[in-house]
Amino acid sequence: MTAKHIINRTMLSIRAICISFKFQKVPQPWLAALRQTEHGMEELKSRTPTIVRWITPLSGRLKLNVDGAFMRTSGTAGGGGILRDHEGNMCWAFARAYHDLNSSLAAEAMALNDGLSICCSKGVSEVLVETDSLNLLQLVTNQISSQWDLTCIMHDIAVKTLNLKAEIAHIPREANRVADCLASSAISCPRFVIWSS
């Protein structure tokens, strides 16, 4: 059943209800709302779907994707990340459980800090960093103020970003699936795990 068919059936049902309750006409606000929905569906049909995927960095560059996961019900958190070259080959990846965090933003920040720390220890510089957390990107680029509980970690991130000459960008969650899987699995990791190629 198409969206237009559903809308037409809904309009007929509303008219039948109005007649059975002795309304002479369908109230104008109802008709206006239904017409807006109908026009919205036509607009949705005209949009072309876009493919979202991870894109390799430029030749000779490295890209670090990071993500954090937080389970509010249990208070457990984890972070993960992967560094890949211009051919998409893994250089290294990590997963780590975090304790005593109170938000997904804190988990995202910890994962970013861990990823940058590993880059520093392995001598990686001029890395492109991607995260699917727009809030984290805005914190790192000083577009929004840091929460008091994230002040220290954000300072560490700022120092490491400068030292590494790192660029940080936002990407859709669908293009960050590997880091997302690492972060989700990290919640149950008993220790900090780093995989190297």
pLDDT at residue 48, rounded to an integer: 73
Mind listing the domains of the chain with CATH numbers? 3-46 (no CATH), 63-196 (3.30.420.10)
5: confidence class by pLDDT, cuts 50, 70, 90: confident
What pTM was estimated for this model as a whole? 0.75
Query: Is pLDDT above 80 for 40?
Result: no
DSSP output for the chain: --HHHHHHHHHHHHHHHHHHTT-SS--HHHHHHHHHHHHHHHHHHHSPP------PPPTT--EEEEEEEEETTTTEEEEEEEEE-TTS-EEEEEEEEE-S--SHHHHHHHHHHHHHHHHHHTT--S-EEEES-HHHHHHHTTSSPPPGGGHHHHHHHHHHHHHHT-EEEE--GGGGHHHHHHHHHHTT-SS-EEEE-
pLDDT at residue 29, rounded to an integer: 75
pLDDT at residue 6, rounded to an integer: 76
Query: Is pLDDT above 60 for 55?
Result: yes
Q: Which amino acid is at 67?
A: D
Q: What percent of the chain is predicted at pLDDT more than 90?
A: 61
Range 145-168 burial, b when 16+ CB lie within 10 A, else e? ebeeebeebbebbeebbeebebeb
Q: What percent of the chain is predicted at pLDDT more than 70?
A: 86
Q: pLDDT digit string (tens) for 26-37?
A: 667 766 776 676
84: confidence class by pLDDT, cuts 50, 70, 90: very high
Q: Please indicate whether residue 23 or residue 90 has the higher confidence score (pLDDT).
A: 90
Q: Please indicate whether residue 186 or residue 10 has the higher confidence score (pLDDT).
A: 186
Q: Please indicate whether residue 95 or residue 10 has the higher confidence score (pLDDT).
A: 95
